[in-house]
């Protein structure tokens, strides 16, 4: 039962003790468990989650409102709305579709991230952007930040609808 040189139990002794006590060996770690079949309910959750994300993108905070996450819904709506109002008020640049370079296309994607607020902001600046001053440059950044924030909020609403986030 003990190793003569060290006085410790050997591996063979441990196996013989385990078999004497009728202990079954554990399942190997590398075994693959069979995959669970996807039900039709999973597909319905995915479609519902996509619809909630789109609703949250079109109207900031609406995706969270559909999930009855009232605090987040109000926070997202006010934060995105305030950033758009501030950016448009500073006469920031709202990028148009079909930009001539990668920066213009990326700016358009960020601005479009605000959903319906993009079209409201387009109508709020009748005299156009004024990026020749620092205010206009900062306004452009506020508008892009609002879009990215809303896209992240829509992604969170999607994940919450799929019950991955709280």
Is there a domain that residue 136 lies in? Answer: yes
Please say whether the beta carbons of 94 and 129 come within 8 A: yes
pLDDT per residue as tens digits for the range 69-125: 999 999 999 999 999 999 888 888 888 888 788 888 999 999 999 999 998 888 776
Query: What gap in Å lies between CA 30 and CA 16, rounded to an integer?
Result: 24
The residue range of the domain holding 149 is: 40-161
Return contacts of 105-112, CB within 8 angstroms, 24+ apart.
107/140, 107/144, 109/147, 110/143, 110/144, 110/147, 110/148, 111/143, 111/144, 111/147, 112/147
Is there a domain that residue 27 lies in? Answer: no
- The pLDDT of residue 48 is 92
Is there a domain that residue 4 lies in? Answer: no
- The pLDDT of residue 148 is 95
Joined tokens for residue 142: 């506020």
What is the pTM (predicted TM-score) of this model?
0.69
Range list of H helices, 37-164: 40-58, 62-66, 70-89, 102-112, 116-124, 134-161
Of the listed ranges 12-26, 32-46, 143-157, the least confidently predicted one is 12-26
- Closest by CA to 158, choosing from 62, 74, 75, 50, is 50
- The pLDDT of residue 25 is 53
The overall average pLDDT reported for the chain is: 79
- Domain count of the fold of the chain: 1
Is there a domain that residue 31 lies in? Answer: no
């Amino acid at each position: 039962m003990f190793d003569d040189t060290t006085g410790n139990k050997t591996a063979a002794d441990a196996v013989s003790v385990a078999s004497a006590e009728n202990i079954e060996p554990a399942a190997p770690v590398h075994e693959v468990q069979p995959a669970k079949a996807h039900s039709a309910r999973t597909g319905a959750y995915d479609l519902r989650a996509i619809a909630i994300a789109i609703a949250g993108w079109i109207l900031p905070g609406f995706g969270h409102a559909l999930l009855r996450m009232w605090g987040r819904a109000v926070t997202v709506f006010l934060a995105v709305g305030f950033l758009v109002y501030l950016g448009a008020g500073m006469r920031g640049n709202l990028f148009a579709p079909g930009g001539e370079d990668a920066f213009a296309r990326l700016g358009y994607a960020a601005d479009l991230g605000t959903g319906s607020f993009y079209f409201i902001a387009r109508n709020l600046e009748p005299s156009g952007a004024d990026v020749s001053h620092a205010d206009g440059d900062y306004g452009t950044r506020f508008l892009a930040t609002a879009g990215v924030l809303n896209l992240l909020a829509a992604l969170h609403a999607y994940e919450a609808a799929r019950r991955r986030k709280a």
